Structure 1
Amino acid sequence: MPPEEATGIRIHLDKLLAARGMTLTELSARVGVTVVNLSVLKNGRAKAIRFSTLAALCRELDCQPGDLIGHDPDL
């Protein structure tokens, strides 16, 4: 298996959840994505995200995609 590629992409799901006083379980129920998959996303282990999932997250968290996803090429 090849080594993981450093993309510099960071997901700020933990910060958005904390700011909204929402749990991962509550978000999971609202967007129809399993807690396990949201946890993978939150912990930076996801390789991809569907636009439909991104749209649902933005809808439920009342945010823009840029609030949820950041890029730091030095990481």
Structure 2
Amino acid sequence: MCKGKQEYDRTLCTALNKETKDGREMRKYSDLLHGVIDSIVSVKEESDIDSLFSVGETTALQGEIKGLDYFELITFLIIK
């Protein structure tokens, strides 16, 4: 959706700023982000458990991800 774009859509940004009171009320988007991170952690845990019962090295206890503190938000894209 952003490929080849050099400028942002000012109309959409204005609408988002109005909706979020210039970013002061981001609860809706924060909740979505927390849900995504919870999903990533869950998939990683399932993968680690599966690796315990497969041939070869296990991934359990390697690159442990526990939650939001293990991520850094660099930018975000809201698609409506």
> TM-score band (shorter)?
under 0.3
For CA contacts below 8 A with separation 6 or more, give which structure has more relative contact order: 1
**What is the TM-score with the length of structure 2 in the denominator?**
0.23
**What is the TM-score with the length of structure 1 in the denominator?**
0.24
